[in-house]
Amino acid sequence: MAKYLFLKHYRGAPAGVNDVPMDQWTQDEISAHLQYMDDFADRLRATGEFVDGQALSPEGAFVRYDGEGRPPITDGPFAETKDLIAGWMAIDVDSWDRAVELAGELSAAPGAGGKPIHEWLGVRPFLTAPPTVTE
Amino acid sequence: MDELLLRTLVPRVIGVLVRRGADFASAEDAVQDALVEAVRSWPAEPPRDPQAWLITAAWRKYLDAVRAAAARRRREDTVDTEPAPGPVASTDDTLQLYFLCTNPALSAASSIALTLRAVGGLTTRQIAEAYLVPESTMAQRISRAKKTISDVPLDTVGEIATVVRVLYLVFNEGYSGELDLAAEAIRLTRQLAAAVDHPEVAGLLALMLLHHARRPARIAADGRLVTLADQDRSRWDTALIAEGVQILQGALARDRLGEFQAQAAIAALHADAADVRETDWVQIVGWYDELIRIVDSPIARLNRAVAVGEADGARAGLAALAQLDPALPRWTAVSAYLHERDGARAKAAELYAEAARRASSALERDHLVRQAARLNAQP
């Protein structure tokens, strides 16, 4: 088993095929979208592949050390950033192929017009502890 | 309160319950409940006969569950047909439990989880913590696994090779947090070796002991990976090495060589050398050839290329490496190492940096980045 992180973007991923901003969807389309994501997570819970997942606010800032005795500098809210994460889900699955299959499924969440968004999801393997037997 | 004793008793108690007519899934649940009660009450009132105590408690839990869950009619039937709790038959069902938990219908992850619980006596929480997943996720894996094998009778004989493979996977998970999975795998393999006389079980046990013996020297105090060549060999556990070698010799004498015996033989040759320069690399290459004859895995061939590099020089190692697919995990790292040995420092630094980008573990990545930096820092 290996863990992977799925990343959903507000900004920074290539545009989805059905790329309509969420605030222009109907109420029902939004509900259907959220329901799809909840059901997806529930299914992974049932198969024993779910680790964790959270949605992130677009708000926030970059923070940086500014030298001894001075308060950290903040810069934001993300005016210059290209990559803005909307949420993430961690899964624990048997293979990279399974991770890709699941990401494909999540990317098919319905959007405007009830049609799949075809959004791009970032899929990243976790770096883990090395196996005990190496040589 | 001897938690280890408690865990050792688990497979036997499950076996007794199943022999008395409980299905495996309910028996397993009942034993888990009884364990929780044991942890609570034994410190104050230690039982005279822990196994008998656990059997009684688990059987009571089982009956409670049946009474609570089933319809009135079924409940009465079960109580009616309850056999007298007389003396327990001396058959040990532990081996059958290993087969059941590693049934080929289960995925590797499910087999591991179920084995650790039903044979290892660990709680779902302990297993979840070891694998860094939520307890609910691990509970799902276990309950799905139990459902998958619900129709398999306990006395079904399975493949010992599958059992051995699952224990090897547990061992390879290393350890995290409180539960040491490597030590747990060794305990279970010892138990299996006591229940069945099979050279590959002995081979696996020897392999685990030999690797475990070197563990104190593998990771430095600051968390860095220490390569075999740089390990402080005085920190190797000589008692474990001696035991591993002895078990291996017994297995090899049976003349039924398998992959784990071959791997253990390689580990034994490493353990045998007081210094990396004294390592018998020629013999190690010979054992890799044996291993490849048994299982022709690309990883074994990659490891063989490293050994060839030591036995016959870096050029020979690079030639062996050139036969293999560069997409293999660690191929680039091995190439970097052999290029450095061959004196091509700039090329080696480049390859180390690339290998670091492709590493699948943080410890390995950090190690490879340091190697690249070391070469780049020197003129």
Nearest to A113 by CA among A33, A34, A38: A33
CA distances, B27 to each of B19, B218, B283 (Å): 10, 41, 49
The answer to whether the Cβ–Cβ distance between B109 and A48 falls below 8 Å is: yes
Calpha distance B354→B327 (Å, rounded)? 12
Binary contact (B136, A129; C-beta < 8 A): no
Shortest distance, CA A91 to any CA of chain B (angstroms):
9
Instruction: Tell me how far apart the terminal alpha carbons of chain A are, to the nearest angstrom.
Output: 21
The pair of structure tokens assigned to B61 is 């839990």
Q: Which residue has the tokens 């099979």?
A: B198
Where do the H-state alpha helices sit in B225-324?
Answer: 238-252, 259-272, 281-294, 298-312, 314-322
Mean pLDDT within A42-51:
96
Is B153 within 8 Å of B161 (Cβ atoms)?
Answer: no
Contact between B263 and B291 (Cβ < 8 Å):
yes
CA distance B21 to chain A (A): 29
Q: Do A127 and B361 touch (CB under 8 A)?
A: yes
Residues A10 and A52 sit within 8 Å (Cβ to Cβ) = no
Lowest-confidence segment of B97-101, B291-295, B358-362, B370-374 by average pLDDT: B358-362
Query: Residue B132: its chain A contacts at CB < 8 A?
Result: 3, 51
* Structure confidence by residue, pLDDT tens digits, B306-349: 999 999 999 999 999 999 999 999 999 999 999 999 999 999 99
Contact B236, B271 (CB under 8 A): yes
Res B154: pLDDT = 82
Report the chain B residue with the minimal C-alpha distance to residue A49: B137
Say whether residue A90 is in contact with chain B using an 8 A CB cutoff: no
**Which comes out higher in pLDDT, residue B90 or B144?**
B144
Judge if pTM exceeds 0.80: yes
Q: How many CA atoms lie within 13 A of B185 on its CB side?
A: 29
Least confident among A101-110, B99-108, B167-176: B167-176
What is chain B's mean pLDDT, rounded? 91
pLDDT of residue A28: 95
Residue of B124, B140, B260 for testing the chain A interface, max A β-carbons within 10 Å: B140
Q: Which residue has the higher pLDDT, B379 or B225?
A: B225
A132 at B interface, C-beta within 8 A? yes
Judged by CB atoms closer than 8 Å, whether chains meet at B182 and A92 is answered as no
Question: Do B200 and B157 form a contact (C-beta atoms < 8 A)?
Answer: no
For B177, phi then psi, to 5°, come to: 70, -145
Alpha carbon distance A124, A91 (integer Å): 10
**Nearest-neighbour CA in chain B from A135: distance (Å):** 7
Cα separation of B264 and A89, whole Å? 40
At residue B83, does pLDDT exceed 60?
no
pLDDT at residue B86 tops 60: no
| Residue of chain A nearest B269, judged by CA positions | A135
Nearest CA in chain A to B360: A127
Confidence of residue B173 (pLDDT cuts 50, 70, 90): confident
pLDDT band at B73 (very low <50, low <70, confident <90, very high): low
pLDDT on residue B71: 62
pLDDT, residue B70, reads: 67
Closest CB from A46, A92, A129 relative to B363 = A129
Q: Residue B15 is inside which H or E element, if any?
A: helix B3-19
Which residue in B246, B244, B175, B249 sits closest to B216, CA to CA? B175
From the list A3, A45, A135, the residue facing B303 with the nearest CB is A135
Is A27 at the interface with chain B, CB within 8 A? no
Provide, as residue numbers in chain B, all residues whose Cβ is less than 8 Å from the Cβ of A46.
Answer: 140, 144
Residue B161 has a pLDDT of: 94
Report which of residues A77 and B188 the model is more confident about.
B188
Residue of higher predicted confidence among B92 and B258: B258
Asked if A48 lies within 8 A of B359 by C-beta distance, the reply is no
> In angstroms, what separates the C-alpha of B293 from chain A's closest C-alpha?
18
Tell me the per-residue pLDDT of B106-131, one tens digit each, with 9 for 90 and over: 999 999 999 999 999 999 999 999 99
